[in-house]
Amino acid sequence: MSTIRLTTAQALVRYLAAQKTRVADEELPLFAGVWAIFGHGNVAGLGEALHTARDELPTYRAHNEQAMAHAAIAYAKASKRRRIMACTTSIGPGATNMVTAAAVAHVNRLPVLLLPGDVFASRRPDPVLQQIEAFGDATVSANDCFRPVSRYFDRITRPEQILSALPRALAVLTDPADCGPVTLALCQDVQAEACDYPEAFFSETLWEPRRLRPDVRELEAAATRLGEAERPLIVAGGGVHYSGAAEALARFAETRDIPVAETQAGKSALAWDHPLNVGSIGVTGTSAANALAAEADVVLAAGSRLQDFTTGSRALFRDPGRAIIQLNVTTFDAAKHFALPLVADALAAFEALDEALGGYRAPEAWRERAAREIAAWNQAAEAVLAPGGGPRPSDMQVIGAVNRACGEQATVVCAAGGLPGELHKLWKARPGGYHLEYGYSCMGYEIAGGLGVKMAAPEREVVVMLGDGSYLMMNSEIATSVMLGLKLIVVVLDNGGFGCINRLQQATGGAPFNNLFETARHTALPEIDLAKHAASLGAAAEKVANLAELEVALDRARAADRTTAIVIETDPTAATAAGGAWWDVAVPEVSPRPEARDLRAAYEMAREEQRLGD
């Protein structure tokens, strides 16, 4: 057997560079690059190896470990999980900074390879700088924090271990069902140790996601139930995008006259103005989608986890005899909500269902009902998107302005606060035009995520929309975008704090407290110039006073050759009244506030609508 002597780090990098994928009939490297912030735990081992392979496996420098992992996750999402990035850090705070991002990837079923440095396997220097010591377990390090938020975790304490660990890691990263974050904690002394590795280990490998076909019995049960439906509804989730099933979904819906609602991850599976697209569903849903969901007798959920925002905390699907068909490549998800499981790839399942349904079409009355609901919603949406009103525009009016200026050509990126709900309802998305991280709804994802989207689709305009709260939490990758020449348009809606949670606080009976700057403990309110701050990071930046100035500024941003930040002050109290569904946020059972006591009674009544046992 022919061997080659390499350090563990060199072998790992060489292996990653040899992995391939196929995208639209083109063979490409599976790993588009490695994000790296070096420290004593990875600079000597993995850093040296990455420098040697920098042309085959590019290395990108970031400013924050969590942010660079967000960029890698967004890259994978925008690539429909066909391409991946890796992230490496030192031990200690560099590593644990990535734990939040690992949770984002885990919740959203997105692949990212995390390579944090670790303690010395030899324990010759023990404890080493930044080492966490567990008094009762010497095998624990800070990287054990990654275990609950990794699909696969391993600690590399010997050079030979990567011969089994790396193939296992790649099997998880590329599997449609098990897909998620992989953590390989790399002991820093082991990174530099050498081993005689088989040359065959570094042969090129082509990874193509398998398409799981539906089980015959599950398909028959699902087709029988759907074929009896008087009021069917499809809920399109993120799995529709990842399986490349958007066109198949459109054909299936059109052939069967079945309305389609979209989750946050599924939005833009159909163009916003497709005649069967009833819009967003659930807590952040349109009146059209939620009205049909309340009456649907069969719900075909395609590629969705059916989390609480989608189901209105299990109170949205109200028909007493309704059935849920869970079409999902993951058995774990297909078993939820006492559903009829249909474990399969979405594209394969739509094709198989179409064949099994024969001449079935939903009743014409249901199709007409959907059309009326869509028309009513569009009228309500236009009213809140239109300019006008008080001295500060609402989030909805800003969304309308950005959508009008950039919507046809841009991908909008967002994650947390009130904006995701308004964007879910109101953004007029075209295919590829909507990128929301709302599984973990992680503040700070937005700008870094926009960077990852731009890396995956450099030909598209990428518009990041976020509040001042998210901006202040993580903004450093503006500098990275400038450094890499990856232009973003960053629209910051400044409402003076956490406006979304301030509204939720009052909606659950609380007094305005500790969310807006003005209700937080302070001796003086800070005078924060977000535009100057963005400019200090290298962006072109300006603050605008109104919607008219915003639209002109967006034209300048589109013509600019570098990242541009636009700041506009907005009303923290305004939200779209139309649409939406109940969300289970517990109201205190005992409170000195009469508002909370009254809302507790309403809360208990609302809980009676939850369907927990069927």
Residue 65: burial class (beta carbons within 10 Å; 0-12, 13-18, 19+): buried
DSSP state of 588: P
Note the pLDDT of residue 125. 93
How distant is the alpha carbon of residue 540 from its chain centre? 27
Residue 28 contacts by C-beta under 8 Å, 6 or more apart in sequence? 20, 21, 22, 83
Note the pLDDT of residue 614. 64
Question: In angstroms, rounded to a whole number, what is the distance separating the alpha carbons of residues 448 and 62?
Answer: 10
Domains (ranges, CATH) in the chain?
A: 3-207 (3.40.50.970), 216-377 (3.40.50.1220), 386-569 (3.40.50.970)
Q: Hey, what amino acid is at 501?
A: I
Nearest alpha-carbon partner for 233 in 278, 183, 191: 278
- Measured from the Cβ of residue 480, the count of other Cβ atoms closer than 10 Å reads 24
Question: In angstroms, rounded to a whole number, what is the distance separating the alpha carbons of residues 141 and 183?
Answer: 13
Nearest alpha-carbon partner for 300 in 375, 244, 378, 352: 352
CB 403 within 8 A of CB 385: yes
DSSP 182-231: EEEEEEHHHHH-EEEEEGGGGS-EEE----PPPPHHHHHHHHHHHHT-SS
Q: Which two tokens stand for residue 609?
A: 């609508």
Q: What is the 3-state secondary structure (H, E, C) of 474-487?
A: CCCHHHHHHHHCCC
Query: Rounded to the nearest 5°, which phi and psi values hold at 220?
Result: -65, -45
Note the pLDDT of residue 526. 86
Q: Hey, what amino acid is at 444?
A: G
Residue 127, helix vs strand vs coil: coil
Question: In angstroms, rounded to a whole number, what is the distance separating the alpha carbons of residues 125 and 138?
Answer: 14
How many CA atoms within 13 Å lie on the side-chain side of 168?
13
CB 414 within 8 A of CB 466: yes
Question: Residues of the chain whose pLDDT is less than 70?
Answer: 613-614
Note the pLDDT of residue 127. 94
Nearest alpha-carbon partner for 265 in 137, 14, 77, 391: 77
Residue positions counted in the chain:
614
- Measured from the Cβ of residue 48, the count of other Cβ atoms closer than 10 Å reads 16
Nearest alpha-carbon partner for 338 in 322, 354, 357, 362: 322
- Measured from the Cβ of residue 95, the count of other Cβ atoms closer than 10 Å reads 29
Nearest alpha-carbon partner for 156 in 193, 205, 130: 193
How distant is the alpha carbon of residue 293 from its chain centre? 24
Question: In angstroms, rounded to a whole number, what is the distance separating the alpha carbons of residues 30 and 208?
Answer: 10
CB 326 within 8 A of CB 335: yes
Q: Which two tokens stand for residue 402?
A: 């950005």
Note the pLDDT of residue 577. 87
